[in-house]
Chains A and B, each alone.
Chain A
Amino acid sequence: MSTLFIKKLHVEIGGKHILNGIDLSVKGGETCVLMGPNGSGKSTLGHTILAHPAVSITKGSITFGTHKLSNMKTDEIARAGVMPALQHPQAVSGVSVVNLLTAAARKFPENKKGFSPARFREEIKAAAKTLRIAPEFLSRSLNEGFSGGEKKKMEILQLSLLPAKCVVIDEIDSGLDIDALKLVAREIMKLRKRGVSVVAITHYSRILRWIKADRVHIMHGGKIVKSGTSALAKDIEKNGYGAYIAA
């Protein structure tokens, strides 16, 4: 199992400094929660791990096992096992989640031998059932006209079916009702059990009732200003960010 290491990371978007020296490590099977108010840089950190084209690293590095993610393209990072569940996944007209997953699954070194599209299709159906995704959503255009909750479930579905080793989950709880949130959290815990590193980005501590956090970090102004255990999240739920972000 590999560890995600972020070292002295500085990042700009369009010439503007967004991250100002982030240090973070997440071991295999560990869940790390990044919290912070709007604009603290937590989503940018997620995008940076995945090499979003709008983001440029000015200093520092990101590694995952032997892979130097900060030198790799998004698809290479994905094939190394590092994948996101996006906050706002795009609609893909004319392409169903089955089309996308089947095209994607073949790309992974794990599936180079003996990949069976028919068997994979059955796995997709079974996973969708677990997440209570209605079968027609598997053949519709992905995310086109989907509700916020359906989109989030589709993100988790994809992560659970591709050979993920480290997942970056951005605001998974927004748009989800309690029942859906529990289902999604259960899938995330399954990933964790598989030894997957989880980086969960969230505004509110609500989801932490169902996923167990090993570490909680508070971000503000592009830096980690406080680190702790899930007790830290509980404190924020009660008292807000005020105590940690006061200038």
Chain B
Amino acid sequence: MAKTTIAPIAEHGRTGGSTALPERFIYRAKPGISREVVETISRMKNEPGWMREFRLNAYEEFVRLPVPTWGPDLSGLDFQAITYYQKTEERRYKSWKEVPADIKNTFEKIGVPQAERAFLAGVIGQYESEGFYQKLRGKWEEKGVIFCDTDTAVQKYPEMVKKYFMTECIHASEHKLAALHGAVWSGGTFLYVPAGVHIDMPLQTYFRMNARASGQFEHTLIIVEEGASVQYIEGCTAPLYHNNSLHAAVVEIFVKKGARSRYTTIQNWSKDVYNLNTKRAIVEEDGIQEWVGGSLGSKVTMLYPCTVLKGRGSRAEHLNIAVAGPGQHKDTGAKVMHLAPDTSSNIVSKSISFGGGISTYRGLLKIVKGAKGSRSHVQCDALMPDNISQSNTIPYIKVNEEDVTLGHEAKVGRISEDLVFYLMSRGLTEQEAINLVVQGFMEPIAKSLPLEYAVELNRLISMEMEGSLG
């Protein structure tokens, strides 16, 4: 399958996926979705009855709900052609020494064990549908931090999962893809940070998807207790082939009073993937949620991370960059609900459309009556180096309170002949000049990323645009 990105040192010779390895599995569901497939997944995972019931109810919702038609065209998506579950390992490894050689080599090529040693507090590795490796530095384990794949969490911490899993933040009945996710979810990250614990190094999960025509449905659940803070990063790689694969992840984040959470992801999908995700955070009093995202590759991406500012003085920061090349449609944005007084949100959305690509910013900003003193600023910048691409901005704003401060800016930039001439007159080639302009455009996003990721993001975008301009 098709999710790629960003390991600090990437292996791919080009974007949109890397070289495929022989497929590896000990169990693989037959293609298509049915009650039976859902039951089989639950049985293979040896899940408790409540999770099995949850999955079956979500399946009923999936059958009932229509395919969303308000956004990009999803008619090419055939739910019966996709393989929903593929298990590769019997157990979870705690040391890279135990990991089977072929998987270990793959992860070494993309620099995972190296990055873990250098700058990460913990790492989870996921291959196909499930995690195979998990390691948290002892220091954090002693402080009560939990960092494991979500399947493991269902077995080891059922009470917590039962409390937070698609109960309050995102419901399976919200839309067809959330329902499908609820029915067939597998893998993902469970992260629990106890009150007052500040994890000063990022935690990271790496996904490797290797099988063709498959689906990936990881569920990430992050709970940051009062006064705690954490930075979580997702990185993924995938091979090159695909026939209309599907990624429908769900991310649920709970930011308690005075806590701070940063969720960073950069996804580089191969060009026939439908990337349809639902991500949301609920933030309590004085809490802060930051989203940093980069969306590359894929055929269609729909992604609008949402922050619910529930507590007084809570804050949301959304930073996103979407890149749409030939044949690609990026429908991305941000949603913020201001439900309490003195809440603030800042949304910076950047897009690059080239070679006929379409990128749309779709945003929702809602401020309810009584959310006095709330502030919001939305900035949408589009860069279009040619005349055949498209950029749209659809900002919905619903404000029912008068005592608020709102700002909205939208800019569309082209890469002018004079700008390229200027940079070339300093010795840069035309392609290098364009790359530098693009890097400058992304700079506000890049500076929010760990250095390794910023460098990799620049490199991926340059490669993606190579040869498509001029």
Select which of B416, B428, B441, B442 is within 8 A of A75 by beta carbon: B428
Are B439's CB and A94's CB within 8 A? yes
Known: A92-B436, A95-B437. A83 touches B422 (CB 8 A): no
Which residue of B has the minimal Cβ distance to A50?
B425
User: Cβ of A14 < 8 Å from any Cβ of B?
Assistant: no
Are B428's CB and A104's CB within 8 A? yes
Select which of B417, B419, B425, B439 is within 8 A of A54 by beta carbon: B417
Interfacial chain A residues near B71, Cβ < 8 Å: none
Interfacial chain B residues near A246, Cβ < 8 Å: none
Are B427's CB and A79's CB within 8 A? yes
Are B437's CB and A103's CB within 8 A? no
Are B421's CB and A92's CB within 8 A? no
Interfacial chain B residues near A94, Cβ < 8 Å: 439-444
User: Cβ of A52 < 8 Å from any Cβ of B?
Assistant: yes
User: Cβ of B276 < 8 Å from any Cβ of A?
Assistant: no
Are A74's CB and B417's CB within 8 A? no
Min Cβ gap B343→A in Å is: 29
CA A158 – CA B427 in complex, angstroms?
Answer: 11
Are A78's CB and B436's CB within 8 A? no
Select which of A89, A95, A107 is within 8 A of B439 by beta carbon: A95
Most buried by B among A75, A95, A103: A75
Interfacial chain B residues near A162, Cβ < 8 Å: 426-427
User: How many A residues face the partner with a CB closer than 8 A?
Assistant: 30
User: Cβ of A90 < 8 Å from any Cβ of B?
Assistant: yes
Select which of B425, B429, B430, B439 is within 8 A of A84 by beta carbon: B425
Known: A94-B441, A94-B443. A86 touches B436 (CB 8 A): no
Q: Which residues of B, 278-314, contact A by the 8 Å Cβ criterion?
A: none
Q: Which residues of A, 58-105, contact B by the 8 Å Cβ criterion?
A: 73-75, 77-79, 83-84, 86, 89-90, 92-95, 99-101, 103-105
Interfacial chain B residues near A15, Cβ < 8 Å: none
Are B426's CB and A100's CB within 8 A? yes
Interfacial chain B residues near A78, Cβ < 8 Å: 424-427
User: Cβ of A120 < 8 Å from any Cβ of B?
Assistant: no
Contact with A along B49-62 (1 / 0, CB 8 A): 00000000000000
Q: Which residues of A, 95-152, contact B by the 8 Å Cβ criterion?
A: 95, 99-101, 103-105, 107-108, 141
Most buried by A among B416, B426, B433: B426
Which residue of B has the minimal Cβ distance to A106?
B427
User: Cβ of B99 < 8 Å from any Cβ of A?
Assistant: no
Min Cβ gap A93→B in Å is: 5
Are B436's CB and A103's CB within 8 A? yes
Are A74's CB and B424's CB within 8 A? yes
User: Cβ of A242 < 8 Å from any Cβ of B?
Assistant: no
Interfacial chain B residues near A86, Cβ < 8 Å: 422, 425
Which residue of B has the minimal Cβ distance to A105?
B427
Which residue of B has the minimal Cβ distance to A84?
B425
User: Cβ of B23 < 8 Å from any Cβ of A?
Assistant: no
Interfacial chain A residues near B444, Cβ < 8 Å: 94
CA A54 – CA B425 in complex, angstroms?
Answer: 14
Which residue of B has the minimal Cβ distance to A81?
B427
User: Cβ of B423 < 8 Å from any Cβ of A?
Assistant: yes
Min Cβ gap A47→B in Å is: 9
Min Cβ gap B91→A in Å is: 47
User: Cβ of B432 < 8 Å from any Cβ of A?
Assistant: yes
User: Cβ of B418 < 8 Å from any Cβ of A?
Assistant: yes
Are A75's CB and B422's CB within 8 A? no
Which residue of A has the minimal Cβ distance to B447?
A94
Contact with A along B236-257 (1 / 0, CB 8 A): 0000000000000000000000
Known: A75-B430, A92-B440, A94-B441. A100 touches B423 (CB 8 A): yes
CA A100 – CA B416 in complex, angstroms?
Answer: 17
CA A32 – CA B427 in complex, angstroms?
Answer: 23
Interfacial chain A residues near B427, Cβ < 8 Å: 75, 78-79, 83, 104-105, 107-108, 162
CA A89 – CA B418 in complex, angstroms?
Answer: 9
Are B426's CB and A83's CB within 8 A? yes
Interfacial chain B residues near A84, Cβ < 8 Å: 425
Interfacial chain A residues near B433, Cβ < 8 Å: 75
CA A162 – CA B423 in complex, angstroms?
Answer: 13
Interfacial chain B residues near A89, Cβ < 8 Å: 422
CA A95 – CA B420 in complex, angstroms?
Answer: 13
List 20 A-B residue pairs with CB atoms under 8 Å apart, sorted by A's residue number: A53-B421, A73-B424, A73-B430, A74-B421, A75-B427, A75-B428, A75-B432, A77-B425, A83-B427, A90-B416, A92-B437, A92-B440, A93-B443, A95-B439, A95-B440, A95-B443, A100-B423, A100-B436, A103-B428, A162-B426
Residues of A participating in the B interface, judged by any CB pair closer than 8 Å: 50, 52-54, 73-75, 77-79, 83-84, 86, 89-90, 92-95, 99-101, 103-105, 107-108, 141, 158, 162
Residues of B participating in the A interface, judged by any CB pair closer than 8 Å: 413, 416-419, 421-430, 432-433, 436-437, 439-444
Given contacts A50-B425, A95-B443, 16 further A-B contacts (CB under 8 A): A50-B421, A53-B421, A78-B425, A78-B427, A83-B425, A83-B427, A90-B419, A90-B422, A93-B440, A93-B441, A94-B439, A94-B440, A95-B436, A99-B440, A103-B432, A104-B427
